[in-house]
Amino acid sequence: MEAAEKTSLITQIAEEIHKSSFIAIAGHVSPDGDAVASCLALALCFNKLGKKTVVLLEEIPVRYSSLNGREYLQSDVEAELNHDLFVCCDCGSKERMGKFQEIFDKTDKTIVIDHHVSNTSYGTVNYVDPSASSTSEMVYDIIECIGNMDKDIAEAIYMGIIFDTGGLRFKSTTPETMIKVAKLMETGIPFSKIFTESMLTHSYIEAKIFSKAIEKMKFVEGLPVAYSFLTKEDMDSVNATRADLEGIVEYILNTKGAEVSVFVSQSGENESRVSFRSLEFDVNIIASNWGGGGHVNAAGATIKMKPEAALNDILKLISERYIDGN
């Protein structure tokens, strides 16, 4: 994205925020660190401006439970919100908002802030920059423009950037990213603690369900594709929820010999959510076959099948593309 276009969009977004009085914020289903962080950082920013704010997200992983801004979280909305602006973060399509899409669709003014290459630009204002390391880094620019950054906001943004860059080690990390991280650290955030809690710490239930997924892990014969899946029965056996599944697909990819990882988990009677990761292979194209998307090396989708059936179709498609050299 050109610098002039970026500056113009950020200024326009800041103006829309200042004009609004009640702002709803949402991220994608099965919210990860970047989605949680970008939403909470904006909620804290908006509250400082005197705006009424609500964050619409599914249950968040326990590792993010120490972040400020959790008081704005709402997973169930039964009544009309009467909001005048909807901001969607880290969500490649409005369908990825899940049950909150209906609220988004009823809103006249909508802002989309995202760095997924698959983004469909579905808002009235779309700040989409696939070159950004994370949506949290984009939110940093917006809050800097508004001018009310503080330590609590900085903690959330730092965590989001750390999460989506794999601890500042992914190729998406730029010198500009590092400069912003340094400025966040200057606010006095406990950066070591945040890294440990968000990237390394896990709960007992997470450990139990993680072990079940790894026990089921296999490779596609003759291909560098590793995969695993979990059924509802697997999750119920250790009282795990969707929030306990974070990090499994990354661990699978880190297995020696793996260039692509696929993790499928049951989310409904005949529905599964799929996470893809890769070193070079374009998993965004694979996810798009089921209306999903994301990045070349990280993507997701929801498939109306049970896990094993979904996995069969996914692995068949990936195998065909490998054989074709794509």
- Which stretches in the chain have pLDDT values below 70? 78-79, 325-326
Report strand pairing: 110-114 vs 85-89: parallel
Indicate whether 227 and 288 sit together in one domain: yes
Closest CA to 291 of 33, 97, 88, 34: 97
pLDDT digits (tens, 9 = 90+) for 267-306: 999 999 999 999 999 999 999 999 888 888 889 999 999 9
Residues in the chain: 326
Q: Residue 249 is part of a domain; what is its CATH number?
A: 3.10.310.30
pLDDT digits (tens, 9 = 90+) for 64-73: 888 999 999 9
Indicate whether 41 and 163 sit together in one domain: yes
Instruction: Measure the CA dihedral 124/130/134/140, to 10°.
Output: -60
Indicate whether 170 and 210 sit together in one domain: no
3-state secondary structure of 287: helix
Amino acid 78: pLDDT: 61
Amino acid 56: pLDDT: 96
Indicate whether 252 and 297 sit together in one domain: yes
End of a domain among 199, 230, 250? 199
pLDDT digits (tens, 9 = 90+) for 162-183: 999 989 988 889 999 999 999 9
Indicate whether 114 and 263 sit together in one domain: no
Indicate whether 51 and 65 sit together in one domain: yes
**Per the structure block, which two tokens stand in for 269?**
């009677």
Amino acid 326: pLDDT: 57
End of a domain among 165, 180, 199? 199
Rounded Cα distance between 316 and 326, Å, is 14
Amino acid 232: pLDDT: 96
Indicate whether 105 and 195 sit together in one domain: yes
Question: How many structural domains compose the chain?
Answer: 2
Indicate whether 223 and 195 sit together in one domain: no
CB 66 within 8 A of CB 197: yes
Angle at 231 between CA 226 and CA 233, to 5 degrees: 145
- Write out the residue range of the structural domain in which residue 303 sits: 204-323
Amino acid 250: pLDDT: 93
Indicate whether 152 and 269 sit together in one domain: no
End of a domain among 199, 226, 259? 199
Indicate whether 165 and 215 sit together in one domain: no
Indicate whether 37 and 174 sit together in one domain: yes
Indicate whether 163 and 189 sit together in one domain: yes
Q: Which residues of 160-172 are buried (b: 16+ CB within 10 A; e: fewer)?
A: bbbbbbeeeeeeb
Q: Residue 33 is part of a domain; what is its CATH number?
A: 3.90.1640.10
